[in-house]
A = this chain, B = another copy of it.
């Protein structure tokens, strides 16, 4: 399975992608005005980003606390046995669970950082039990309850020139 060739991006691409990462709800006309292009030129570029898999999807971002009571936590996890198969199984479980918002495999004494979203403190405890306590291949985990969300998003910094 060959890697896709790295698409080369000019300054306008960087500008467009930055706009779309922060607000994908603009019209082609609006975007065109901001980057100095016609709507159809903008459209062709965006179509290319999608074809290349550069833009994977568009999502609506919700305000957690308007949806109802919300408890966020970041959990640090270290596995016991570290075979490829153990890692694969853990990752699959994280991906399948709706309460796991994000999961990163990291370097150092901790193996994973997990961001967990729950609807109550009790729900958070039960998620931790289900995902980590019940897994007998987890050597150790630590739950860092979130007091305040200073910043969220999935935006990436622009490519270095």
From the candidates B7, B150, B154, name the one contacting A95 in the complex (CB within 8 A).
Answer: B150
Known: A74-B113, A101-B156, A144-B108. A56 touches B63 (CB 8 A): yes
Once the chains bind, are B74 and A106 in contact (CB under 8 Å)?
Answer: yes
Taken together as a complex, chains A and B put the C-alpha atoms of A72 and B156 apart, in Å, by: 10
Check: A157 CB closer than 8 A to any chain B CB.
yes
Residue picked from A70, A103, A117, A144, most chain B C-beta under 10 Å: A144
Instruction: Give chain B nearest CB distance to A6 CB in angstroms.
Output: 7
Taken together as a complex, chains A and B put the C-alpha atoms of A161 and B21 apart, in Å, by: 33
Check: A59 CB closer than 8 A to any chain B CB.
yes
Q: Which residues of the partner chain B approach A98 to less than 8 Å between Cβ atoms?
A: 155, 157-158
From the candidates B56, B67, B95, B105, name the one contacting A62 in the complex (CB within 8 A).
Answer: B56
Q: List 10 A-B contacts (CB under 8 A).
A: A24-B58, A53-B66, A54-B63, A55-B60, A58-B58, A59-B153, A101-B154, A103-B150, A104-B147, A112-B150
